[in-house]
Amino acid sequence: MTAWRPGWFQTSQSTSGLVVVHSGQAFLCCEGEVLFAAEDPRIQRLEGDHHGLGEWQSRRVMLLELDSLVDIEACSWQPLRPLMLQSPHALFKLLGYANQIGVWARQHRFCGQCGTRTFALNGQRGLQCPNCQLTQYPRLSPSMIALITRGDEVLLARSPRFAPGVFSTLAGFVEPGESAEACVHREIMEEVGVTVGNLRYQGSQNWPYPHSLMLGYHVDYLAGEIRCQPDEIEDARWFDLRDLPLLPPPFSISRYLIDLYRVERLGGGKPVLPD
């Protein structure tokens, strides 16, 4: 049985389902775990927008998006990132999806063309303006993520936003008029000051910060000395594949890129990038 199955449904059909409460990029939790409320009077009193998410453990689950964080008895608000990192993969995907829908719905409550309050369409995931009929659908932002390789060494870096001690691959958003491959070259040069070649596409992953589609590459180091981009990269180093630092979680595409290259060079079982 699949723990989570994404989908759309009318909120009027979801009265007997579960509710996940979200605001900003935080979820309502009880005893450190996301609260899947079912007929909970504390939740029924809350006012917000409802959005169907699909099914969780064979029950319909709905997102309740609040305008702001509110105090709920015996509950706390937890940011998305730590919840995702400590959750099983199925819950990780559900929370990421819920966050993307919540952020999209919050940012498009009003029409960007005329300022009128939008409403949810029936039968599809869209918010439409009743005045000018402009319809907004969830959008993804393509971004690259690349592992720089040099024989049995890989170049890994730290962002100030990372957990203590964690090093990872380099990533960045594709800009207008730019191909994914051009983005790889530009972002790597901007972030660590080196040139690369022989780009090899390895796979993709949806990532909810806030709505990225990560396109993963292995690339060969060509030239240059490491020069960290201020405010973006606080440390970057070459690491031997036999002596790697603390890495991102196994279900992330960054970890997949590292593990895949390590297997190619040193042998072992090929890793799997979760769907």
pLDDT tens-digit map of 168-203:
999 999 999 999 999 999 999 999 999 999 999 999
pLDDT at residue 81 greater than cutoff 60? yes
For the chain, domains (ranges, CATH) are 4-107 (3.90.79.20), 110-137 (no CATH), 141-266 (3.90.79.10)
pLDDT at residue 97 greater than cutoff 50? yes
pTM: 0.86
When pLDDT is cut at 50, 70 and 90, the band that residue 245 belongs to is very high
Task: Give just the sign of the alpha carbon dihedral 36, 88, 81, 99.
Answer: negative
All residues at 6 or more sequence positions from 37 whose CB lies less than 8 Å from its CB, including other chains: 18, 19, 20, 21, 43
**Which amino acid is located at 115 in the chain?**
G
Task: Give just the sign of the alpha carbon dihedral 56, 57, 58, 59.
Answer: negative
Contact criterion met (CB below 8 Å) for 3 and 57? yes
Say how far apart CA 154 and CA 273 lie, in whole Å. 19
Say how far apart CA 49 and CA 161 lie, in whole Å. 30
Maximum distance among all Cα pairs of the chain, rounded to whole angstroms: 62
- Taken as a whole, the chain contains a residue count of 275
Contact criterion met (CB below 8 Å) for 200 and 257? no
When pLDDT is cut at 50, 70 and 90, the band that residue 12 belongs to is very low
Share of the chain above pLDDT 90, in %: 60
Query: Residue 133 phi/psi, 5° resolution?
Result: 65, 15
Report CA-CA distances (Å) from 248 to 75, 261, 268.
Answer: 28, 15, 19
